[in-house]
Amino acid sequence: MAERLLLRCLDIPDLRRLDVYTAHGGYEATRKALTTCSPEQLVDVVKASNLRGRGGAGFPTGLKWSFLPKQVAKPVYLAVNADESEPGTFKDRVIMEQDPHQLLEGIIISAYAIRCHTAYIYIRGEFALGAERLEAAIAEARSVGLLGRDILGTGFDLDVWVHRGAGAYICGEETGLIESLEGKRGYPRIKPPFPAVYGLFGCPTIVNNVETLACVPHIVLRGADWFRSIGPEKSPGPKLFCVSGHVERPGTYELPMGTPLREIIYTHAGGIRGGRKLKAVIPGGASMPVFTAEEIDVPMDMDSVQKAGSFLGSAGIMVMDETVCMVWAAFVIGRFFHHESCGQCTPCREGTGWLEKVLRRLEFGEGSATAADVDLLLNIAGNMMGTTICALSEAAAMPARAFATKFRAEFEQHATLGRCPLRPVVEPPRRHAHA
Amino acid sequence: MPTLEIDGQRTEVPDGLTVIQAAERLGIEIPHYCWHPALSIAGNCRMCLVEIEKNPKLQIACNTRVADGMVVHTTSEKTKAAQRSVLEFLLINHPIDCPVCDQAGECKLQEYYMDYDRQRSRFPLPAKVRKKKAIPIGPLVMLDQERCILCARCTRFLDEVTHTSELAIYERGDHCEIELAPGKVLDNPYSGNVVDICPVGALTSRDFRFRARVWYLERADSVCGACANGCNMEIYHREDRIFRFQPRLNPDVNQYWMCDAGRLSYRELQGEGRLTHPLVRGEDEFVPSTWATAIGQVAGRLGDLAREHGPGTVGIVVSARAPNEEVFLLRRLGAALGARVAAVSWSPPGAFHDDFLVKADKNPNTQGLRLQGLAPDGEADQLLEMAGAGRLIALILHRTDLTAWRDTVAVRAALERVPCLVVLDTDRREASEYADVVLPIATYAECDGTFTNHAGRVQRFRAAVQPPGEARPGWFVLGELLVRLGGRESFASAETVFAALAEECAAFEGLSYSALGADGHPAVSGAP
């Protein structure tokens, strides 16, 4: 894509400052939306744009907004999901640190569209700089009447609060996020009811991802047709791809939705580091099924990746070269999800720990791994699918299942050898400490 | 009303019901741990996953509302596979210490394992997550974190019912554990209920644990006598010893709960002071006697004295601890002797009560006295005055120790001046020391009968255990006494006494033991 929109910050120095941002057309979309559109018109244009959530699930944003009850006495809340907790994902971070006003604009317009007067940005606790820059941007916007009472003289009021998380993956799940915002343990809620009906403090609530909201001002300025013209019509738009791992140029790339994975890895990210061979790629963050090197000719949009057997997820592309042990990779991911399971639902609470234990004994020869462990792993993972309140159980099961299926021979070799054939014998990583 | 099909049975149920409730109405039990009808829906245990046609995923029956045309399969292969899988997950880190676990025999893990699982463990023993065991978390409750399945019933009870939130879940994943909140102790007046609702051996009763295996115990339906609320309960007993009280569901009285004081009040029913034989005063101390002698002596003396001194010279004091049946027979006794009958309903001043279950009135049958026209209105004080003045020729004290709640010196002096003092009671108390004859009677755990609770609900209790020694049910002793005094009717059971009461007393009109059933029945309102 010739023109960068979401990542204009890479082209314009100091874009995070309000004066720079406005000098480059900032808040024009806000002015246009608040002064010339009704909330209903905005919902319609976002619907027409086919914008789908960038957090991982890819749910149509306009449709989500339209689930809000039409007549309601309670306040409506907008909760901005800035938790970005999916391993391999670092796109929202760039927006918040380098271009916070873009997000604020998205928040103001979206809040206006859903008749919300209080928005919370739930930001990952580790993003100290992002939180600081957001606070600064909010103060700037407030000082010129872009936030607070009677925004731009339109009579629309909006307050935005930054709420820092305390380090739990599960608080990126929208109802876990809501519980956490309420000051409770980050336990995802059983659905129904969905947040649009019963969300934050029991009020109708829309939870949207940072990148999703950042798309909204551009849709307002350029129209739904323009947005739909980028990439495949059913999941269109500019998209941020986070490339990490064994590539020459890891980083966040803004490319049209549907850019082939091979092109992202080999053209934009400079190919495999040191000229080595590609072994595996996770296309959508740690929770998504892995692709083998043979499977990367896939357009990176929601429907195409799903058709290819994985998910676009948060577009966290994790590239692994030939030196990486697949059991080890599965173990690292398994260990993460074991650590992050909230512990509410039985299959996830118990299954994540069990998966880690089986992967650990395969990789580190702890206990006595057998060839049957591969089938055990697949069986445990299967039992964790579709049986819990939220998707964390699947997030742990899907990668384990994909690694063990697609690299089955390597897994079996581990069992036969009683150790890892690829990596030198090392102390196994310690189990996560729990107080 | 939606019509749905569960396991091939079609049923029409009210809107808003969940699948688990609809199945219950058909007599189909969907296994569950976290769901409890009196608590919010947590949906975390996943044991109640069932197959619902047209749904790609299994759904939890506890949180799925019924819909018209819904087709549910609770025994399909998919459902069974999910049940097996959830049980396997629940058991991998469970210590399987059933042989030393007090919950064994009433443990939902054991029961569901046998009903739905029965597979061998695929999890190596040393790999289990270890947690803390045998932690006393309050006067009544012991916590074992390893056995806990984190269903959150206890935390929801403490959040939603008592609003005290002593317990919470800490840590994450398979390291999650139930723990006391900082600085708290589980000592609210309803703490024992968490033991009842804990489906596994994580919360056990410090009072009951290791005293009996539950499969040796028998149960009897009863009503708690510790206050005027009349919480429905079960008495667990064996070989004429009571081991515990547990609440029994009554939506109109106590729902699923009872207070700790009531729960522990079984101890008072089998204390050291129980009377085991009729006692007749000898030269200077009591001599154990037979019922024939004692009853004969009491009937003879009371009859003679009443005839000799005329109406109003014999007094009867009946307490609100007496069941309706005994109150009725005492009234008859009063009529036969021309006696003045006084009612007392005494509770310790400042006794704990709240706006939930615990009543300030610590007597189970104050309302029953009122409904039989015996308001506790000070008549007893007049009797004492008469006694003190030497004008009371005989006095019957029924289940009451007047010395405990009146000016002790004056009461003692008064009791000493009564020429004939007869005491009917379960325990030896101070007033019985002044008696001429003491008749040992049964507690409410040892006989059939009814109490009328504070709201006028008449509720049955049943004999769970035998009275100790020669003690007999109060209705039986009073019935014998009446026969000896020339009464024409003899009563074969508490039920027949109640039938006579219902015949005679407007407030109980139309009631019978069968009409009272398990849940009791309100007395006739507006009756005097």
Q: How sure is the predictor about B283, in pLDDT bands with cuts at 50, 70 and 90?
A: confident
Average pLDDT, stretch A307-331? 97
Report the CATH number at residue A289. Answer: 3.10.20.600
Q: Is A28 inside a domain boundary?
A: yes
pLDDT of residue A368: 80
Q: Tens digit of pLDDT for each residue in B30-89?
A: 999 999 999 999 999 999 999 999 999 999 999 999 999 999 999 999 999 999 999 999
Write out chain A residues lying below 8 Å of B168, CB-based. 185
User: Beta strand pairing status for A118-123 and A77-82?
Assistant: parallel
Q: Is B159 an 8 Å CB contact of chain A?
A: no
Among the partner-chain residues A185, A353, A386, the one whose CB lies closest to the CB of B174 is: A353
Q: Which among B427, B423, B310, B450 has a CA at the least distance from the CA of B367?
A: B450
Asked if the Cβ–Cβ distance from B44 to A345 is below 8 Å, we say yes
A365 shares a domain with A276:
no
Q: Is B393 inside a domain boundary?
A: yes
What DSSP assignment string belongs to B361-398? ---S-HHHHHHTT---SSHHHHHHHHHHTT---EEEEE
A249 shares a domain with A214:
no
A211 shares a domain with A161:
yes
Decide: helix, strand or coil at residue A264: helix
A222 shares a domain with A286:
no
pLDDT at A435 over 90: no
Among B38, B55, B90, where does a domain finish? B90
Our CA-based measurement puts residue B85 at a distance from the nearest CA of chain A, in whole angstroms, of: 6
Q: Is B381 an 8 Å CB contact of chain A?
A: no
Asked if the Cβ–Cβ distance from A350 to B89 is below 8 Å, we say yes
Report the CATH number at residue A339. Answer: 1.20.1440.230
Q: Is B145 inside a domain boundary?
A: no
Q: Is B100 inside a domain boundary?
A: no
Give the separation between CA B219 and CA B234, rounded to whole angstroms: 6
A268 shares a domain with A252:
yes
Backbone angles phi and psi of A81, in degrees to 5? -85, 100
Our CA-based measurement puts residue B167 at a distance from the nearest CA of chain A, in whole angstroms, of: 14
A274 shares a domain with A187:
no
Report the CATH number at residue B396. Answer: 3.40.50.740
pLDDT at A221 over 70: yes
Our CA-based measurement puts residue B323 at a distance from the nearest CA of chain A, in whole angstroms, of: 48
What DSSP assignment string belongs to B116-172? II-----S-GGGSPP---SEE-SSSEEE-TTT-----HHHHHHHHTS----EEEES-
Asked if the Cβ–Cβ distance from B58 to A386 is below 8 Å, we say yes
pLDDT at A434 over 70: no
Q: Tens digit of pLDDT for each residue in A232-284?
A: 999 999 999 999 999 999 999 999 999 999 999 999 999 999 999 999 999 99
Among B90, B113, B143, where does a domain finish? B90
Among B57, B90, B123, where does a domain finish? B90
A164 shares a domain with A60:
yes
pLDDT of residue A367: 64
Q: Is B333 an 8 Å CB contact of chain A?
A: no
Give the separation between CA B523 and CA B462, rounded to whole angstroms: 19
Q: Tens digit of pLDDT for each residue in A132-164?
A: 999 999 999 999 999 999 999 999 999 999 999
Q: Is A301 inside a domain boundary?
A: yes
A282 shares a domain with A166:
no
pLDDT at A424 over 80: no
Write out chain B residues lying below 8 Å of A168, CB-based. 172
Number of folded domains that form chain A:
3
Q: Is A258 inside a domain boundary?
A: yes
Average pLDDT, stretch A217-231? 97
Among the partner-chain residues B57, B86, B129, the one whose CB lies closest to the CB of A346 is: B86
Among A270, A288, A321, where does a domain finish? A321
Number of folded domains that form chain B:
2
Decide: helix, strand or coil at residue A281: strand
Nearest CA in chain B to A336: B173
A354 shares a domain with A257:
no
Asked if the Cβ–Cβ distance from A347 to B58 is below 8 Å, we say no
Q: Is A2 inside a domain boundary?
A: no
Instruction: Please say whether the beta carbons of A116 and A75 come within 8 A.
Output: yes
Write out chain B residues lying below 8 Å of A367, CB-based. 124, 127
Which stretches does DSSP call E strand in A133-286? 148-151, 156-164, 205-209, 238-245, 251-256, 278-282
Give the separation between CA B258 and CA B232, rounded to whole angstroms: 8
Among A292, A321, A350, where does a domain finish? A321
* Residue A220: DSSP 8-state: H
Q: Is A233 inside a domain boundary?
A: no
Give the separation between CA A127 and CA A135, rounded to whole angstroms: 12
- Percent of chain B having pLDDT more than 70? 99
Domain that holds residue A151: 8-228
pLDDT of residue A147: 98
Q: Which residue has the higher pLDDT, A27 or A434?
A: A27
Q: How far is CA A405 from the centre of its chain?
A: 25
Q: Is A399 inside a domain boundary?
A: yes
Report the CATH number at residue B40. Answer: 3.10.20.740
A163 shares a domain with A124:
yes
Average model confidence (pLDDT) across chain A: 95
Our CA-based measurement puts residue A340 at a distance from the nearest CA of chain B, in whole angstroms, of: 7
Among the partner-chain residues A342, A350, A386, the one whose CB lies closest to the CB of B90 is: A350
Write out chain B residues lying below 8 Å of A357, CB-based. 127
Q: Tens digit of pLDDT for each residue in B247-275?
A: 999 999 999 999 999 999 999 999 999 99
A112 shares a domain with A69:
yes
Average pLDDT, stretch B321-348? 96
Among the partner-chain residues A343, A383, A435, the one whose CB lies closest to the CB of B173 is: A343
pLDDT at A2 over 70: no
Among A202, A228, A254, where does a domain finish? A228
Average model confidence (pLDDT) across chain B: 96
Q: Is A426 inside a domain boundary?
A: no
Q: Tens digit of pLDDT for each residue in B353-405?
A: 999 999 999 999 999 999 999 999 889 999 999 999 999 999 999 999 888 77
Asked if the Cβ–Cβ distance from A341 to B174 is below 8 Å, we say yes
Domain that holds residue B387: 279-522
Write out chain A residues lying below 8 Å of B123, CB-based. 354
Q: Which of A197, A344, A352 is the best residue to mutate to test the B interface, defined by the most B CB atoms within 10 Å of its own CB?
A: A344
Q: Is A434 inside a domain boundary?
A: no
Write out chain A residues lying below 8 Å of B165, CB-based. none
* Residue A215: DSSP 8-state: H
Give chain A's contact residues with B (Cβ, < 8 Å).
Answer: 168, 185, 190, 338-354, 357, 367, 376, 383, 386-389, 434-435
Q: Is B242 inside a domain boundary?
A: no
Q: Is B456 inside a domain boundary?
A: yes
Q: Is B188 inside a domain boundary?
A: no
pLDDT at A399 over 90: yes
Average pLDDT, stretch A324-332? 97
* Neighbour order of strands in the sheet with A148-151: A148-151, A156-164, A118-123, A77-82, A205-209
Q: Answer positive or negative: Cα dihedral of B318, B423, B433, B379.
A: positive
Average pLDDT, stretch B135-154? 98
Write out chain B residues lying below 8 Å of A394, CB-based. none
Which stretches does DSSP call E strand in A177-220? 205-209
Instruction: List, as ranges, residues 11-70 from B with C-beta within 8 Å of A.
Output: 41-47, 49, 56-58, 60, 63
Task: Verify cis geometry, omega within 30 degrees of 0, for the bond prior to A192.
Answer: yes
pLDDT of residue A419: 87
Q: Tens digit of pLDDT for each residue in A55-65?
A: 999 999 999 99
Instruction: Please say whether the beta carbons of B278 and B437 come within 8 A.
Output: yes
DSSP H or E run through B3: strand B3-6
Q: Is B116 an 8 Å CB contact of chain A?
A: no
pLDDT of residue A322: 96
Q: Is B316 inside a domain boundary?
A: yes
Q: Is B207 inside a domain boundary?
A: no
A388 shares a domain with A268:
no
